[in-house]
Amino acid sequence: MHRINGKKIRAFAKLLNAKTVYPETAVYLEAIQLFNAAIHKKPAAIIYPRDEAEVFKVLCFCRDQSIELAVNGGCHSVDGYALSDGGLVLDLSLLTQMQIDPIQKTAILGAGVSPGALEKACAPFKLMAVHGEFPSVGFIGQTLNGGYSLLSRCYGMGCDNLISVKVVTPTEGLLTVDKDHHPDLFWALCGGGGNFGVVTEIQIRLHPQRYLCTGFLAYPLNEAKSIIPKWREYMLNQAPNELSISAVFATLPTGDKGLLLATMFCGEETLGKKILHDLRQFGTTLMDNLMPRSMIETLELYVPITPAGLMHHWRSDFFIAPTDEMLNIILQAFETVPSHRTLVFFESHGGAIGHIAPEATAYPLRQYPFNFMISGTWEVSQSSADCIRWTDELYQKVKPYLSGRAYLNYIGAEGAERIKRSYGQNYYRLQKIKQHYDPRNILHLNQNIAP
């Protein structure tokens, strides 16, 4: 791929007549701001398409001129896939169309819509969607790689809630795909990431907001050895699908290190109240803000934990269950965690996620009850080297207890083998579909499936 080809890009953009931002303009720095402040790339231009025709023209131009193309759906990927260094960026933020159907309980949303914006539109109808707890992540970017939510044990992954997808592919242009139309491509879009085309719009299933109770219970870190086994047994053997609890090693607002149970219950009120009462007996609670909340209030709860402007280096893998040895390693490491922003997660999967066969959608990682994640996160003023080293060292120590298969939304660029192993048998079908829709790998700034 060529890098900067300024003249040709400017001539093309002038003809296209879509909003375009160039390096010399005042808004350029804002346009290239990534969620991960550790990554800096300088594209030659950022184009903001208004419709599918413009998206297709940009795809064809990049193909014909061998210019690298990045797709920015929300700029949250930890390795900064939303930008190309020297190439073109297709920024989808102007595609903000939204339509809620309260009778069918469905929503149509454009590629510029975030979970926060969608929930605001759903709230008057007491409906909600399946997405992560962070309001500004690109809804579509998250869903294409699977889309994990604290609601996933109840309603499946985000991709399990897709009804149809409008996608502009490099070889066939705009296609509207669902289970009956281009079923292979629809299958691939349910977990195969941004490999097959630029998704401009999706239709998804919504769910009624029942008794939704969300928040955190915080315990002293020295109680983790008694709480984690209780939590593990509870999640494996007793918890209904309506309940999700992630155990998070964190630095508490007081500055003390602690264990958080990040909890969401969505179901029948009497059952919810009983479960939450039982949960409160797990240990000595230092903080308890678990209470009925709307989905919008829930999203707001997560923003201050990881505000924008921080640096990130993440490692992650699925596993069967935390063992005592694994817990000891984490507790020992956490004593010297270099940044109060860094979190270590045991995320609860299972429930409805596992009710779908691994080969039924491209997203195959359905049999693991837990996901392990180190969110190595630090302030711009701190030493990146210390935080990266700490994250990698802990990951290496815990690795023998992990599956070697990753949730691709939670890792950076770890190489082709890692992607292949994470998709398992589904990789070969994905590769065939990639060969059909993007044989020249124009869409390669992603967890790439090489054609």
Ligand X SMILES: Cc1cc2nc3c(=O)[nH]c(=O)nc-3n(C[C@H](O)[C@H](O)[C@H](O)COP(=O)(O)OP(=O)(O)OC[C@H]3O[C@@H](n4cnc5c(N)ncnc54)[C@H](O)[C@@H]3O)c2cc1C
Interacting residues toward ligand X by CB under 6 A: 35, 71-78, 81-82, 92, 111, 132-134, 137-138, 140-142, 144-148, 193-194, 198-199, 306, 409, 445-446
> What's 185's DSSP letter?
H
In the complex, the smallest distance separating the C-beta of residue 141 from ligand X, rounded to whole angstroms, is: 2
Three-class DSSP category at 100: strand
Instruction: For ligand X, give the closer residue by CB, 235 or 311.
Output: 311
In the complex, the smallest distance separating the C-beta of residue 219 from ligand X, rounded to whole angstroms, is: 22
In the complex, the smallest distance separating the C-beta of residue 112 from ligand X, rounded to whole angstroms, is: 9
Name the residue among 260, 241, 254 with its Cα closest to residue 349.
241
Instruction: For ligand X, give the closer residue by CB, 327 or 391.
Output: 391
In the complex, the smallest distance separating the C-beta of residue 169 from ligand X, rounded to whole angstroms, is: 10
- One-character DSSP codes across 94-117: T---EEEETTTTEEEEETT--HHH
Rounded to 5 degrees, what are φ and ψ at 278? -60, -45
In the complex, the smallest distance separating the C-beta of residue 308 from ligand X, rounded to whole angstroms, is: 9
Instruction: For ligand X, give the closer residue by CB, 43 or 138.
Output: 138
In the complex, the smallest distance separating the C-beta of residue 70 from ligand X, rounded to whole angstroms, is: 6
Q: Strand ranges (DSSP E) for 116-183?
A: 127-128, 162-169, 173-177
Instruction: For ligand X, give the closer residue by CB, 331 or 449.
Output: 449
Token pair 């054609």 in the structure block, residue: 451
Three-class DSSP category at 96: coil
Long-range contacts of 273-276 (CB under 8 A, 24+ apart): 275/239, 275/240, 275/243, 276/213
> How big is the chain, counted in residues?
451
Q: Is 145 exposed, middle or buried (0-12, 13-18, 19+ CB in 10 A)?
A: buried
Instruction: For ligand X, give the closer residue by CB, 157 or 327.
Output: 157
CA distance 175 to 184: 12
Half-sphere exposure of 46 (CA within 13 A, CB side): 27
Instruction: For ligand X, give the closer residue by CB, 283 or 422.
Output: 422
Instruction: For ligand X, give the closer residue by CB, 303 or 329.
Output: 303
In the complex, the smallest distance separating the C-beta of residue 292 from ligand X, rounded to whole angstroms, is: 21
Taking residue 66's Cβ as centre, other Cβ atoms within 10 Å add up to: 12
- One-character DSSP codes across 280-299: TTSS--SEE--EE--HHHHH
